[in-house]
Amino acid sequence: MPELPEVETIRKGLAKALENRRIKRVTLRRAGLRSLFPKNFAETLEGRAIRGFRRRAKYILADLEGGYVWLIHLGMSGSFRTLARGHNGAPEKHDHVVIEFDDGTGLAYNDPRRFGQMDVFESAQEATHPALKPIGPEPLERGFDGAVLAERLSGKKTAIKVALLDQRVVAGVGNIYACEALYRAGIDPRRSAHLIKGKNAAALASAIKDVMREALASGGSTLRDHRQLDGSTGYFQHSFDVYGHAGQPCGHCTCQKKSCVRSITQGGRTTFFCPVKQK
DNA sequence: CCCACGACCTGCTGGC
DNA sequence: TGCCAGCAGGTCGTGG
């Protein structure tokens, strides 16, 4: 469940459920996810207490006792499930990592498609970690505005929709929120990225912030059967203006058409947009 | 450096 | 009912 609002919601759930728990045992139920687990992955986690959970783009970072960071990416289909004290330890299908804490509770990482990723490294290596170093500004942190966005888009000839999915441009935007933000900003997803500047860039930066904040307040979006840690689901999917609405009205434009929302393919992903409102 | 595209996986859906 | 192509919230490697 992977864009910024969903990852942030999961981070909060992990923090609430697991902060200060001590990892007793880590069981890897297959050799790897998107890549192999690093050497000594389980051994490095074992025996350490979790001091807190942070997020950067779509990555969750768990700070471990003794100056280590456990890095997690959920890919397309990763999810966590807490295991109550006295759980029988029987894994479910696609549980790839099972963690037991010293108080008898546990945590299972489940990921059918195995596009997720995990790593562990010393805190001092975080600043230069190859997955983290290239990431662009966090849209919900101070300083992200139209000027910053325009600077990041300058020189990019690719379509603005494709550029928004590049984590070096802005952190945490994925396919849903790229479509929704472009819709709100009234920008055609096919426009060349470097042409988005000035007022357009300001409108787009604002739209990204607004849609992320609103989604966060709704607990993210739940497509298919994805769940939060506690089993609850987000409900921002009910607020989509265009995502998944091809052939339906966008709801806001004045075109009077009953089916203004179109879907096209860009960079191998589906883009939803309203050609009347988005120019 | 930039960009386009296929690869990586499994599961679900919709059309026949 | 069954089968299968196509698609799914992401990223990375390999070409040009």
Whole-number distance in Å between A142 CA and B3 C1': 31
* Whether A13 CB is under 7 Å from strand C: no
Look at residue A13 in the predicted model and tell me its pLDDT. Answer: 96
Contacting residues 226-245/A vs strand C (CB within 7 A): 226, 234
Q: How far is the CA of A65 from the C1' of B12 (A)?
A: 41
Q: Is the C-beta of residue A79 closer than 7 Å to nucleic acid chain C?
A: no
* Segment A66-78, tens digit of pLDDT: 999 999 999 999 9
Question: pLDDT of A171-188, one tens digit each?
Answer: 999 999 999 999 999 999
pLDDT at A226 over 70: no
Residues of A (40-59) placing their beta carbon closer than 7 angstroms to any atom of strand C are 57-58
Positions of chain B reached by protein Cβ under 7 A: 2-13
Closest nucleotide C1' to the C-alpha of A159: B3
How does the average pLDDT of chain A come out, rounded?
Answer: 95
The reply to whether A271 Cβ lies less than 7 angstroms from strand C is no
> The pTM is what?
0.97
Mean pLDDT of A247-273: 88
**Per-residue pLDDT, A6:** 96
Catalytic residues of A, by residue number, are 2-3, 58, 269
- Determine whether the distance from the CB of A2 to the nearest atom of strand C is below 7 Å: yes
Asked if the Cβ of residue A181 lies within 7 A of any atom of strand C, the reply is: no
Q: Who's near A237: CB < 8 A, 6+ residues apart? A: A221, A222, A223, A244
**pLDDT computed for residue A195 by the predictor:** 98
pLDDT score, position A257: 73
